[in-house]
Amino acid sequence: MKKNFIGIDVSKLKLDVYLHNKLEHKIFTNNEEGYQQMISWLKSLKVSVKSMAVCFEHTGIYSEDLATFLAQKKVCFYLESSINIKYSIGLSRGKSDKIDSRRIAAYIAMYHEKLTPSDIIESDVSKLRKLLSLRSYLEKEIVSLKNRLKNSTKDSGVEFILKMEREMLESKNKHLKELEAEIERLIKSNEEMNKIDQLIQSIKGIGPMTSWTFIATTNNFNYFENARQFACYIGIAPFEKSSGSSIKGKTQTDRRSNRKLNALITMAARSASLYSLEMKEYMERKLKEGKHYNCVLNAIKNKLIARIFAVVKRQSPYVDLKKYAA
């Protein structure tokens, strides 16, 4: 059956839909009624549900309802990273929602054979993502208030302002603890998520926040096939840089990445290099060999990700053999 490639630019209030095969474009509201109208419009253009290949960027809460609707209608859809789409189209000029939808449609038309259709996000994973998003927002607010307090105490400010800022900080810290308790309750209430969380945290250096973020990002490890694929996604996988006999650059990572996850795994690697005997010895040995600290740290990050995927795949906790060695 001939595929009909559809690109959708998702925003808070609307969907820009572009049908690649017939060069048709139309705008719909980003809600249940709009989704129904979109399907009716496509059918009026002689596009059957079975022939649809819909692609749109992952935009968090704005795209989750659309993904759920398409899954219920048994429409083949692809949730893709904006980075993948951006760098696949090469040099481009101009930008608008209509142009973006057309580019997304062209992307899926070109690469659909290499891509795997997406699955609906599990409801508990969706809740976890929203809770983690709120936690990230609260953390930023707390850091901002702490900085304000540091600056306020240096000058002769109004005591009322200091009192108010301290109360706000105390309140937000309380909300942060309540939020983390709610995340723990959610994880423990889901048998599969709880099992995976325990497996990941059995690895030295991996804490709750890193574990929760891994579960949310990978949709309970359903989005990535292996550790290398995930390492590429967060920008820590090393790639060779050479060409012929004249270009022999250093092996390096790609800047296109999920920086938040990269930062989390970096903190985990630093912790592991201090408290895991194996990683500590590895760090010391490589530094003595003349390796740069950041290079060794990146290797440890890759080792941790490999261990995370390994324990999840075999469904058994990590065993630190170095701990039990003679």
Would you state the pLDDT for residue 151? 77
3-state secondary structure of 120: coil
Unique residue bearing structure tokens 């990978």 = 218
C-alpha pair distances (Å), 139 with each of 126, 174, 177, 288, 317: 20, 12, 11, 38, 30
Residue 106 · residue 8 · CB < 8 Å: no
Would you state the pLDDT for residue 326? 47
One digit per residue, the tens of pLDDT, for the chain of length 326 reads 789 999 999 998 999 999 999 999 999 999 999 999 999 999 999 999 999 999 998 776 778 888 889 988 899 998 887 767 776 665 555 578 888 899 999 999 998 888 888 877 777 888 898 899 899 999 999 999 998 888 776 555 577 788 888 899 999 999 999 999 999 999 999 999 999 999 999 999 999 999 999 999 888 888 788 888 888 888 887 655 555 555 555 665 555 557 788 889 999 999 999 988 899 999 999 999 999 999 999 999 999 999 999 999 999 999 876 665 54
Measured between its terminal Cα atoms, the distance across the chain in Å is 63
Residue 45 · residue 22 · CB < 8 Å: yes
Would you state the pLDDT for residue 241? 57
3-state secondary structure of 207: coil
Residue 167's CB is within 10 A of a number of other CB atoms, namely 10
- Please name the helix (run of DSSP H) or strand (run of DSSP E) that holds residue 24, with its range, or none: strand 24-29
Quick one: 171 exposed, middle or buried, by C-beta within 10 A (0-12, 13-18, 19+)? exposed
Q: Which of 193, 231, 216, 191 is nearest to 312 (CA)?
A: 193
Residue 210's CB is within 10 A of a number of other CB atoms, namely 21
Report the b/e string of 110-127 with b at 16+ CB within 10 A: eebeeeeebebbbebbbb
Q: Is 129 left (phi over 0), alpha (psi -120 to 50) or beta?
A: alpha
Q: What's the DSSP call for residue 246?
A: T
Unique residue bearing structure tokens 């259709």 = 117
Residue 269's CB is within 10 A of a number of other CB atoms, namely 26
Residue 262's CB is within 10 A of a number of other CB atoms, namely 17
Would you state the pLDDT for residue 236? 82
In DSSP notation, 69-105 reads HHHHTT-EEEEE-HHHHHHHS-S-----HHHHHHHHH
CATH topology of domain 4-111: Nucleotidyltransferase; domain 5 (3.30.420)
Unique residue bearing structure tokens 């694929």 = 229
Gap between the Cα atoms of 210 and 102, Å rounded: 36
